[in-house]
Amino acid sequence: MSYFVWNKELDFLRGYSDNTVYFQGSLRLKNPFEGGEGIYVSRIMDVGEGRILWRRLEADFEIRENQQIWITIYSADESPSLEEARKRFEERGMAGLLAFFRPFACVEGELERCMPLYEAKGRCLWFSAALRGLGGGPGLSSLAFYFGGRSWTQYLPELYQNLPGAVLERYLEIFQGIYEETERKIREAPALLTIEKTDRIYLEWLADWMGIQEVSAWKTENLRRYLPEAAEISLLLGTREGLKRLTELYLGEDVYIEESWEEPRVTVAVRAEAVPDSKAHQALLQIVKRGCPAGVRAEIVLLHPYTFLGKTSYLGINTVLTPCREGILDQNAFIPAATVGSRKEEEKRDGENSLDAFYQEPVF
C-alpha cells in the first residue's frame, strides 16, 4: 500500500491559503484568538495510473471545544486546469476557487482521526480544510492518504470477490487497515531506536538517565540535539565551555557568559525573546545552576534591543555604535527616553518611539 503525506511546512506552502499560517508544526489560523475561519486548499496528488483504489485518510490534529476542522476531498480521473484554478483564486479569492473545485467533491465532513475514502474514484486527489473556532484555534499537523494495495477479497473464493456494492470489501478494509498499520509499525520499529526518529516520551526517559532536570521545559528539537552530546558535556559541567554548550543547546541560540571571582558569580546573558515568562526563566535558571561550579551564584540577564541607564548593555550584542548626528538638549527640548533599533523593532514596542519623536516642548 502506498500513501501521500502532508506533515512539513513545505507541504502546506504548496497550495492556496486564506487566513491560515503554518506555525510550530501545524496549520493554524493567522489570528487564532480572534476566531473566524481559515481555509487551505492543497495541491493535486496524481498517482499516474488508471483507476485507483483510495483506501483511507489518517489525520493528526489538535482541537478543543467550540473548534472544528471541516475537510472536503476532491477526486477526478484527469487533473483540472491549474491555470484556471489560479485565475479563479486571483480574481475571486478562495470562494471562487472552491466553486471551481466543487463538482469534484466526493467526501465531506468534520475531520476525524481516520476516514474512509471509498467514494474517491479518480487517480487525482486533493483536499480543502476549513479551520474554525476561538481560543487558540485548531491545529492541523499531518494528513496521510493511503491508496492501492491488494484487497483482502482477493484471498476469498471467486464467488465473494465480485459481490455488488463492495460491502464486503469495505467491511474487510476495517481489519485490513488495522493489520497493515501494525505491520508498518513493526517494519519501522528500528527507527525508534535512534534519537532523530524516536518519540518524545523515549527522549524524556533517556534524558532522565542523563540526569537532566526540567525535562518538560526542553523543546523536542533541542533535546534531540543535546542527547548525543550529553555524555561529553557532563564531563565539562562546572567549566565555562560546559555551561555555554549546555545553555545554548537548551535555548537553541547563542548565549553570553560573564564570570566574576571577587564574589563567585556567573552571569548568563540571553535575548529576552528566548525567555518569555517567569516559568521559562526559572527553568533556564535550573539549567544554568546545573552547569555552574559548586558554590557559585548563577544569574540570568535578559538582553533587550534598547538601552536604559542602569540596565545591562553589551557593545555589539544589544547595543551598536553608529555615526554621530547632531542633537541639542537645551531649554527648548528634552529626551524622556530613547530607543535604539530598526524601524521594525520600534513598531513592535508599544508606547515607544524613535529618537526624533521624543523631542518635545518643555513642561513647566
**Given this model, what pLDDT does residue 106 score?**
92
**Given this model, what pLDDT does residue 326 score?**
60
**Which is more confident, 239 or 342?**
239
Q: Please give the average per-residue pLDDT across 206-225, as a whole number.
A: 84
Per-residue model confidence as pLDDT tens digits over 62-108: 888 888 999 999 999 888 888 899 999 989 999 999 999 999 999 99
| Among 160-174, 222-236, 242-256, 287-301, the least confident range | 160-174
Set of cell numbers at residue 192: 525508534
SS3 percent helix, strand, coil of the chain, rounded to 5, is 35, 25, 35
**Which is more confident, 306 or 286?**
286
Contact 55, 117 (CB under 8 A): yes
For residues 306 and 24, give the distance between their C-alpha atoms in angstroms, rounded to a whole number: 28
Q: Please give the average per-residue pLDDT across 310-316, as a whole number.
A: 59
**Which is more confident, 55 or 347?**
55
pLDDT of 202 above 90: no
Q: Please give the average per-residue pLDDT across 195-224, as a whole number.
A: 83
Per-residue model confidence as pLDDT tens digits over 132-157: 887 667 889 999 998 877 778 888 88
Which residue is listed with cell 471541516?
70
Confidence band for 25, pLDDT divided at 50, 70 and 90: confident
Beta-carbon-side half-sphere exposure of residue 241 (alpha carbons within 13 Å): 6
pLDDT of 18 above 50: yes
**Which is more confident, 309 or 361?**
309
The residue extents of the domains of the chain are 2-149, 200-303, 320-364
Contact 229, 237 (CB under 8 A): no
**Given this model, what pLDDT does residue 103 score?**
93
| Among 57-61, 201-205, 230-234, 348-352, the least confident range | 348-352
Q: Please give the average per-residue pLDDT across 159-168, as a whole number.
A: 74
pLDDT of 209 above 90: no
**Which of the residue ranges 108-117, 210-219, 320-329 has the most confident prediction, judged by mean pLDDT?**
108-117
Confidence band for 359, pLDDT divided at 50, 70 and 90: very low
**Given this model, what pLDDT does residue 136 score?**
63
What pTM was estimated for this model as a whole?
Answer: 0.52
Coil/strand/helix, residue 63: coil
pLDDT of 363 above 50: no
Q: What is the three-state SS of the chain?
A: CEEEEECCHHHHHCEEEECEEEECCEEEECCHHHCCEEEEEECCEECCCCCCCEEEEEEEEECCCCEEEEEEEEEECCCCCHHHHHHHHHHHHHHHHHHHHHHHEEEEEECCCEEECCCCCCCEEEEEEEEEECCCCCEEEEEEEEECCCCHHHHCCHHHHCCHHHHHHHHHHHHHHHHHHHHHHHHCHHHHHCCCCCCHHHHHHHHHHCCCCCHHHCCHHHHHHHHHHHHHHHHHCCCHHHHHHHHHHHHCCCCEEEEECCCCEEEEEEEHHHCCCHHHHHHHHHHHHHHCCCCCEEEEEEECCCCCCCCCCCECCCECCCCCCCCCCCCCCCCCCCCCCCHHHHHHCCCCCCCHHHCCCCCC
**Given this model, what pLDDT does residue 50 score?**
61
pLDDT of 117 above 80: yes
- Domain 2-149 falls in which CATH fold? Jelly Rolls (2.60.120)
Report the first-to-last Cα separation within the chain, whole angstroms: 81
**Given this model, what pLDDT does residue 215 score?**
82
**Which of the residue ranges 95-104, 166-175, 187-196 has the most confident prediction, judged by mean pLDDT?**
95-104
**Given this model, what pLDDT does residue 69 score?**
93
Q: What is the three-state SS of 13-57?
A: HCEEEECEEEECCEEEECCHHHCCEEEEEECCEECCCCCCCEEEE
Mean per-residue pLDDT over the chain, rounded: 80
Contact 242, 291 (CB under 8 A): yes
